[in-house]
Amino acid sequence: MSPIKKMYVKELDKLRSQKIFSKPVVAVMLRRDILQNLKKQMNYSWLYYLIEANQAVKNTLYFFSLGNVNLREKKIKGYYWHRKRQKLVQQDFPLPDVLYVRSGIHHRYTKTYRDLFNAVRQKNGHLITQTTFNKWRLYQVISQSPTLKKYLPDTRTVEKTEDIEKMLQKYKTIYLKPHVGRKGENVLRIRTMPDGSYQCSNFRNGQLVVRMVPDLQTLFLEINNFYQSRKFLVQQGIQLLQFENRLVDLRAEVQYDGNGKANIVGISARLGQPLSPITTHGDAYKFEDFFRNYLGYTKEQLEKLRSEVYVFLTNIYEYLQKNYGRYAEIGIDFAVDVNQQIWFIEANSRSTKVSLEKAYGKTALYQSAKNILNYAKYLSTLPKKRRKTLSPSVR
């Protein structure tokens, strides 16, 4: 092929690649294995609802993994939903106006992610999810707020066995939690029994594990074996509300909507399995239904609690935005004790929305997905400003 013809073909390919995409361009970053499964079968319901909701919102929406990012050419091989063919189809897309991170980052792609993050910022784009929350760091941040620290249970990071011993002297029940973890993984509850022994309970591979240890030294060996070299914290046990000897806590899905306003999509009351230290693997109910129909709250009691809960959730959500950066959504876990005190448990930056679906059904999942897409559209209307190069967290 002659040099002139080569140049002609190159320019023709360039013109073909310059497809006009509707704004904003929203890219959903997934792990490679999730993306592969999504291509084979649409069994990730939350991602399916993003696709469905986008038919109404009409952003350009595509899914990708970091292995398909080409920063030199400023394009990404992504997958979009082809309505006529009813499947995901791959094609080249521009760098997004809004980057929505839905999975962790493998260390092999740390540099790619950081470079992509800054490339999006340089074109005045937006990242609408930030780092996953380190539980100890989160406790330290919230404890700096005069209005929010009252919601925090007594918590300290464990540096020596004496830290656990002091908490056991102060509280009959304590919880041990890793600094970083999801879905109740590696949460260990320890109860002091009347005879001076200790009951340890946790969930492992979806099964409740309960064991007794006779004394402190044996307990410390058990804890050391459980956490090994991982960092963990110790927290006071809260006397939570119970129903039929099952613990009750709550998960709120808080998001920004298409007007940039905080919106509580749903609050799910989660009912743990009998004897379980956590509620993650249990049932879920609508907040109002559970407190009225199961716990017997009067209309006045429920209204008072709802008002307090909404103030708490809105304040926590806005405070985390100021201290961590923009989050289009946060799943906030909290509890109510037997004295009606509200307690903050943890925050989740990439909620799987399992409890929301159990309690509120598919309509809530659709609305949640639509909020994300409308918020992306809202961000695209904001005035552009110059951005500095940053180094984002890659957890």
CATH number, domain at 298?
A: 3.30.470.20
Q: Is residue 142 part of a domain?
A: no
Q: Are residues 29 and 114 in the same domain?
A: yes
Q: Are residues 344 and 253 in the same domain?
A: yes
Q: Is residue 393 part of a domain?
A: no
Least confident of 196-205, 215-224, 228-237: 196-205
Find the mean pLDDT for residues 9-17: 48
Residue with the larger pLDDT of the pair 346 and 5: 346
Least confident of 177-186, 211-220, 330-339: 177-186
382 burial (CB, 10 Å; 0-12 / 13-18 / 19+) is exposed
- 333 vs 369: CA distance, rounded Å: 20
Q: Are residues 312 and 362 in the same domain?
A: yes
Q: Are residues 36 and 103 in the same domain?
A: yes
Q: Is residue 3 part of a domain?
A: no
Q: Are residues 246 and 367 in the same domain?
A: yes
Q: Torsions phi, psi of 191, nearest 5?
A: -115, 135
Q: Are residues 357 and 255 in the same domain?
A: yes
Q: Are residues 85 and 172 in the same domain?
A: no
Give me the percent of the chain exceeding a pLDDT of 90. 71
Q: Which domain holds residue 29?
A: 10-127
Q: Is residue 133 part of a domain?
A: no
Query: Is 387:74 a contact under the CB 8 Å cutoff?
Result: no
Structurally, how many domains does the chain consist of? 3
Determine the pLDDT at residue 6: 55
Query: Is 233:157 a contact under the CB 8 Å cutoff?
Result: yes
Q: Is 147 a residue whose pLDDT tops 50?
A: yes
Q: Is residue 245 part of a domain?
A: yes
Measured in whole angstroms, the distance separating CA 178 from the mean position of its chain's CA atoms is 16
Q: Which two tokens stand for residue 159?
A: 């540096």
Q: Are residues 229 and 262 in the same domain?
A: no
Q: Is 14 a residue whose pLDDT tops 60?
A: no
Question: Closest Cα to residue 253, out of 316, 300, 336?
Answer: 316
Verify cis geometry, omega within 30 degrees of 0, for the bond prior to 94: no
Q: Is residue 1 part of a domain?
A: no
Q: Which residue among 236, 259, 285 closes a domain?
A: 236
> 50: pLDDT confidence band, cut at 50, 70 and 90?
very high
Q: Are residues 246 and 360 in the same domain?
A: yes
Q: What angle do CA 148, 149, 150 make, to 5 degrees?
A: 90
- 65 vs 27: CA distance, rounded Å: 10
- 252 vs 248: CA distance, rounded Å: 14
Give me the percent of the chain exceeding a pLDDT of 70. 90
Q: Is residue 67 part of a domain?
A: yes
Q: What is the distance between the terminal CA atoms of the chain, rounded to a whole angstrom?
A: 48
Q: Which residue among 208, 236, 264 closes a domain?
A: 236
Q: Is 3 a residue whose pLDDT tops 80?
A: no
Count other Cβ atoms within 10 Å, centred on residue 376: 28
Mean pLDDT of the chain: 89
The secondary structure of the chain, three-state, reads: CCHHHHHHHHHHHHHHHCCCCCCCEEEEECCHHHHHHHHHCCCCHHHHHHHHHHHHHCCEEEEECHHHEECCCCEEEEEEEECCCCEEEEEEEECCCEEEECCCCCHHHHHHHHHHHHHHHHCCCEECCCCCCCHHHHHHHHCCCCCCHHHCCCEEECCCHHHHHHHHHHCCEEEEEECCCCCCCCCEEEEECCCCCEEEEEEECCEEEEEEECCHHHHHHHHHHHHCCCCEEEEECCCECEECCEEEEEEEEEEECCCCCEEEEEEEEEECCCCCCCCCCCEEEEHHHHHHHHCCCCHHHHHHHHHHHHHHHHHHHHHHHHHHCCCCEEEEEEEEECCCCEEEEEEECCCCCHHHHHHHCHHHHHHHHHHHHHHHHHHHCCCCCCCCCCCCCCC
| CATH number, position 57 | 3.40.50
Q: Which residue among 177, 212, 236 closes a domain?
A: 236
Q: Is 81 a residue whose pLDDT tops 90?
A: yes
Q: Are residues 263 and 371 in the same domain?
A: yes
Q: Torsions phi, psi of 221, nearest 5?
A: -65, -40
Q: Is 216 a residue whose pLDDT tops 80?
A: yes
Q: Are residues 209 and 270 in the same domain?
A: no
**Alpha-carbon distances of 58 from 33, 61, 350, 372, 377, rounded to whole Å:** 27, 8, 23, 12, 9
Q: Are residues 244 and 375 in the same domain?
A: yes
Longest CA–CA separation in the chain, Å: 91
Query: Is 192:168 a contact under the CB 8 Å cutoff?
Result: yes
Q: Kindly report, residue by residue over 372-394, the tens digit of the pLDDT.
A: 999 999 999 988 765 554 555 55
Q: Is residue 361 part of a domain?
A: yes
